[in-house]
Amino acid sequence: MTSKQNIDDSPVDFAEKIIMDVKNSKDEGVLKCVQCGMCTSTCPAARHSDYNPRDIIERVLAGDESILQDDLIWNCFYCYTCHSVCPVGNSVCEVNQILKQIAISRQIGYDKLYEYMGFADSYFTAAIGAIPEIFFDDIKNDVPGWWEFRTNLGEIREELELDPPLMPPKETIDEVSKILTITGFKEKIEKIRASQEAEK
Ligand code: SF4
Ligand code: SF4
């Protein structure tokens, strides 16, 4: 007789939680994973670290919640390459977003997020995500011309007659700040920052 595992049976409760999450846009794509490894063969994070997207899905389907504690999940940077190549419509990218959100809700990974607090702050000051200042030196070293481009962006845009201005108007910034406050984003950021600063 063929063995069958229902998605409401333990040990796949964890997988069901991932599948039912609002961020998981594909119809049970996680359950269709055939472990072909296409995602891993094209994933830039896998190329440069021990991170393995195929393994992420295998562990999720095995109900292995220890994955939430695994530092490797933070190596995925949501480029969506795996999403575009998966032959069965799965998205490791989305699964990782869900895993990280569950981890954050259990106060895991705050140390990984702390470096990106400047990115979160920029939504309140500019209504858009901006590269945190702590990365400027590294980018200056790695990308020749980036700093000159960044500091002269206003003039470059003017010269190219680009319109409207790069920064959104104040009303937009206020509106975005309000949404981020009402939806709890601000509170989450403050909690992460406070926890990490208390450990210093
Ligand atoms: S490409 Fe899709 S089917 Fe293949 S291992 Fe990755 S998630 Fe599974
Ligand atoms: S989204 Fe994440 S898992 Fe997918 S290819 Fe990009 S880095 Fe790899």
86 and 42 Cβ atoms separated by less than 8 Å: no
What sections of the chain are H helices per DSSP?
13-20, 38-42, 44-48, 53-61, 81-85, 92-105, 110-114, 117-126, 136-142, 146-151, 153-159, 170-182, 185-198
Look at residue 8 and tell me whether its pLDDT is greater than 60.
no
Query: Cα–Cα distance between 191 and 197 in angstroms, integer?
Result: 10
Ligand 2 atom nearest 77 alpha carbon: 7
- Report the predicted TM-score, pTM, of the whole model to 2 decimal places: 0.80
Tokens of 37: 């490894």
Q: Which residues line ligand 2 (CB under 6 A)?
A: 43-45, 53, 76-82, 92-93, 96
The residue that leads in pLDDT, 175 or 3, is 175
Place of tokens 């210093």: 200
Please write the tens of the pLDDT for every residue from 108-148: 999 999 988 999 999 999 999 888 888 999 999 999 999 99
The contacts of residue 65 (CB under 8 Å, 6+ apart) are: 14
Q: Report the greatest alpha carbon distance in the chain.
A: 72
What are the CA-CA distances from residue 188 to residues 101, 120, 174, 179, 185 (Å)?
Answer: 11, 10, 19, 13, 5
pLDDT bin (cut points 50, 70, 90) of residue 4 is low
- Weakest-pLDDT range from 3-17, 39-53, 178-192: 3-17
Measured from the CB, is residue 84 less than 6 Å from ligand 1? no
Please write the tens of the pLDDT for every residue from 69-113: 999 999 999 999 999 999 999 999 999 999 999 999 999 999 999
The domain locations on the chain are 13-107, 111-198
How high is the pLDDT of residue 10?
A: 53
**Ligand nearest to the Cα of 42, by number:** 2
**Ligand nearest to the Cα of 91, by number:** 1
Measured from the CB, is residue 30 less than 6 Å from ligand 1? no
User: DSSP secondary-structure letter at 66?
Assistant: G
Give the gyration radius of the chain's Cα atoms.
20
Nearest CA to ligand 2 atom 5: 43
